[in-house]
Amino acid sequence: MAKPKLKLRKEKTGDAAAPKVAETKQPPAKAKTAARARTRTKPRKARQYPRWLEGIVNFYRETRGELRKVQWPTWRQAWRLTYIVLAVTFASGLFLGLMDWLFSRLVAFILGTL
């Protein structure tokens, strides 16, 4: 392979005596794109949907793409989080039930119906 040509350029520091830095010359990006285009034998055929169905199909396609990006929990993490949710739900239900009972007794005492 041929060595890449080096091109010297001055650093943009404003100093007239700035050191010169070697810069490699890279081939244009179009060559890679053209090579990829030649390897493809047939262009992919796009599916045609009726206009009214197109929005629904796009919605599900985008949803599936987003769900692939999700980092799903392991079974152990899922069970542990389920236990936490159940414990917090039970504790808050117990607390709210107790507060309801206390306030109903307090209102009954104030009204004198106890």
pLDDT tens, residue by residue, 22-49? 555 655 556 555 555 566 666 666 678 8
- What would the pLDDT profile of 66-104 be if each residue is shown by its tens digit? 999 999 999 999 999 999 999 999 999 999 999 999 999
What is the dihedral sign for C-alpha 93, 99, 105, 107? negative
pLDDT recorded at residue 112: 87
Radius of gyration (Cα) for the chain, nearest Å?
35
pLDDT recorded at residue 50: 84
User: pLDDT class for 4, splitting at 50, 70, 90?
Assistant: low
Average pLDDT over residues 47-59: 87
Q: Which long-range contacts (CB under 8 A, 24 or more apart) does 43-50 make?
A: none
